[in-house]
Chain A
Amino acid sequence: MAITYDVLKSVTSQMYARSLRAVPADAKKALAGARTRETNPVARNTLDLMVANATAAEERGHFLCSDSGVPTYQIRVGTQARFDGDVKRAIRDGFAELVAASDPPLLKHVTNPLTNERGHAGKDMPIVTFDLVDGADDVEIICSPKALGSGRWAALEIFTFPSIAEIEEYIMKVVLTAGSQACPPVVVGVGIGGTFDYATKLAKESVVRPIGQSHPEPLIADMEKRLLEAVNKTGFGPMGTGGATTAMAVHVDYASGHGFTPVAVCFNCWIDRRTRVRISNDGTVTETE
């Protein structure tokens, strides 16, 4: 048995469509929790609107946001997984098919970075990364379309032997720069160490981690907890018009590296766009998020 081109094409295409129309269950829960804690009436109104918009979009199969962004896929391939057909072409073809069939249609957000020409397709689009998972006989796919609102405020700096205090100060600096603009309450993803590219990869993987799932190492789990509290002390609040909920979660991961330590920070907006699916060798498709 093998994972076929057809299955990959339809699954990745549907994941993108679903990401645009539904807020993940854990994010919905986080928004509802924030609503009970907020005392600021404008913040409460905004959180109510978010929840109402999420419900309406889901019920009517409409988009939550007009910025469908660029589709990105993180793919974790089990070493025992078998493929029948061209994996990358399947994803590209699935995206093209979705663009052609989408109702309502997608706006043209895919941009040539040198000419600023906009369309629905382009070089290296969708953006896909691959990892290997030893022993697994399936493939896990995470789709997380990235729009300008939250995508714009990701940042990276490379330090030399930084203290944890310096790392945390930098994360706060990035959060303050994003301020009201990243459509808070956000999820903050942080990657520390490795190399220039690896730190950003860790940040992106962290940002899609389910809300409520702490890092397994207590040192990092504590860092996540205190950073979440610190981010919420900034007071930006829902949509940055004031309140106690600027972030729903802060997720951190790290890798060993040299003494030059990159720290990457990225954001997901309140919609927290992401879907996660597992496809087994026998073609079974399981939506896990």
Chain B
Amino acid sequence: MAEIRDIELPADEHLVRELRAGDLVRLTGEIVISAGLPAYRRLLSELHQGIAPPLGLRGRALFHVGSLGEEAGGEYRLRYLNPTTSTRFNAEMPELIRGLGIRFAGGKGGLGDESAAAMRDIGCVYLSFLGGGCTLLSDAIRRVTAVHWTEMVEHYRLVRVEVERLGPLTVGIDTHGASIYRDLRDDAQARLPDILSGLAEAREIR
């Protein structure tokens, strides 16, 4: 079995720069989650206008993860959380990573090359969650510490949640310029002519 590294949040830049694409990690501490494109667009627009985000994100984890919460007995509880497709935020993330100075980005499916460049410069890694990992990932929920932008539907809000041993998550993009997503895409593209000639041969054999 691959080794899993346990990380306490907030994690400093040095630790994050030690991580390599393909490493497995588990997180304990406070993360910030939102699966809403309107939320990321709002963060970016307010960044452009010089408006501070409703919470300090410098050195923190901001994930493309949605959640469902319920108010019960004056307490806001999360029933579940789960990642969404990160490439939807390709346009917003490079500037957000730089502007907000986040230490961890993540969700599922990876981010583009401009985000990877921002991550290398800032000292931020991308973590891949199991898509459709709702039941197990939700076991890590400890408590909600704050909910911002409650005027939006639930999975769009910025939710601060304390997690315990969230993961394992795969480091998909590291600070050394390695991106599993770019490498696999480029490899597959480079191999496509071979794959197509393999298909042609298989057709002839029949």
B187 at the A interface (CB under 8 A): yes
Residue from the list A60, A105, A169, A181 in contact with B135, Cβ < 8 A = A60
Do A42 and B24 form a contact, CB below 8 Å, given A64-B134, A180-B109?
yes
Do A233 and B184 form a contact, CB below 8 Å, given A105-B68, A269-B131, A271-B132?
no
Question: Do A53 and B135 touch (CB < 8 A)?
Answer: yes
Count of B interface residues, CB-CB < 8 Å: 51
A242 CB contacts on chain B under 8 angstroms: 22, 180, 184
B130 CB contacts on chain A under 8 angstroms: 46, 49-50, 53, 239
Q: How far is the CA of A229 from the CA of B196 in the complex (A)?
A: 11
A33-60 vs B, CB cutoff 8 Å, 1 = contact: the mask equals 0000000011011100110110011001
A6 at the B interface (CB under 8 A): no
Question: Do B109 and A240 touch (CB < 8 A)?
Answer: yes
- Could you say which interface size class chain A belongs to? 35 or more
Question: Do B181 and A180 touch (CB < 8 A)?
Answer: yes
B28 at the A interface (CB under 8 A): no
Chain B nearest CB, measured from A167 CB (Å): 10
Question: Do A180 and B135 touch (CB < 8 A)?
Answer: no
B81 CB contacts on chain A under 8 angstroms: 66
Chain A nearest CB, measured from B187 CB (Å): 6
Chain B nearest CB, measured from A178 CB (Å): 9
Q: How far is the CA of A236 from the CA of B200 in the complex (A)?
A: 22
Chain A nearest CB, measured from B111 CB (Å): 11
Closest to B172 in A: A241
B162-175 vs A, CB cutoff 8 Å, 1 = contact: the mask equals 00000010101000
Do A234 and B68 form a contact, CB below 8 Å, given A52-B136, A149-B85?
no
Question: Do A181 and B128 touch (CB < 8 A)?
Answer: no
Question: Do B168 and A49 touch (CB < 8 A)?
Answer: yes
A100 at the B interface (CB under 8 A): no
B185 CB contacts on chain A under 8 angstroms: 176, 179-180
Q: How far is the CA of A227 from the CA of B195 in the complex (A)?
A: 10
Q: How far is the CA of A267 from the CA of B3 in the complex (A)?
A: 32
Q: How far is the CA of A28 from the CA of B1 in the complex (A)?
A: 21
A sample of 9 more A-B contacts (CB under 8 A), given A148-B85, A164-B203, is: A42-B24, A50-B133, A62-B80, A107-B66, A148-B84, A176-B188, A183-B131, A233-B191, A239-B108
Which A residues lie at the B interface, using CB under 8 A?
41-42, 44-46, 49-50, 52-53, 56-57, 60, 62-67, 104-105, 107-108, 118, 148-149, 152, 164-165, 168-169, 172, 176, 179-181, 183, 219, 222, 226-227, 229-230, 233-237, 239-242, 269-271
15 residue pairs from A and B, CB less than 8 Å apart:
A62-B138, A66-B80, A66-B134, A66-B155, A104-B79, A148-B85, A172-B196, A222-B203, A227-B199, A229-B198, A233-B194, A234-B184, A236-B188, A240-B180, A271-B132
